[in-house]
Amino acid sequence: MFASLITGTMLGLSVAAPFGPISLLCVQRSILAGPWLGVATGLGAACVQGLYAAFAISGAGIAATYLAEWGQAVRLISAALLIVLGTRVLLRRPPVAQTLSRPRAHVAFASSFSVALCNPLTVLPYLLVASSAATIEAADAPLTAWSIPGVLVGATAWYAAVSTAAAMFRSSLSEGATRVLNHAAGTLLIGFGLMVGCR
């Protein structure tokens, strides 16, 4: 049990840790409205990782079919979501502190959930685990049901750390610096979208 939990934690951390679209959204939203919004964003992606871990454990035989039939559609949907999010961030005006209307946590959760659900960078590691699980004995499987909460913990811990670190710089950023951050974040998200769509 403990070994499976640790394996899941390391897997969730390793999938989340490369600085991609979700980490970027956590940073941008934490600076915009505080660390809790960044954590809500990361939690949406972490829940998707938990779902894919469950899929890898119980649906290994479906992995190849899923990838072959829906891989291109998933990639294009992910690209479109990233480009839309990037455009919205790029066009957002820095809010005045007195009139700041904070995005809601459930909206941040839902948007990152949607991006992670369709992001090949999130899907592929768990499909690889599922494919390997289909070729070995159940007793030697790399993941078990106890790995699912580990995946959630590992991914959430990474996104919480990123959000907390980003929020520390929030009070020291001027309106001009926030505008530059939005432009950079929006451009990078659009770039991620184009990279995913053109693969």
Q: Using an 8 Å Cβ cutoff, are 41 and 181 in contact?
A: no
Residue-wise over 133-159: b if at least 16 C-beta within 10 A, else e? beeeeeeebbbbebbbbbbbbbbbbbb
- CA–CA separation, 48 vs 81, rounded Å? 16
Identity at 115, one-letter amino acid code: V
**What are the structural domain ranges in the chain?**
2-197
- Is pLDDT above 50 for 136? no
Model confidence pLDDT, tens digit, residues 49-71: 998 888 877 765 555 555 555 56
**In 10 A of CB 2, how many CB atoms?**
8
Model confidence pLDDT, tens digit, residues 169-192: 876 766 666 677 777 877 887 887
Task: State the pLDDT at residue 139.
Answer: 47
Q: 119: pLDDT confidence band, cut at 50, 70 and 90?
A: confident
Model confidence pLDDT, tens digit, residues 14-27: 888 877 888 888 98
Residue whose token pair is 């190849």: 64
Q: Tell me the residue ranges of DSSP E strands in the chain.
A: none
**In 10 A of CB 109, how many CB atoms?**
19
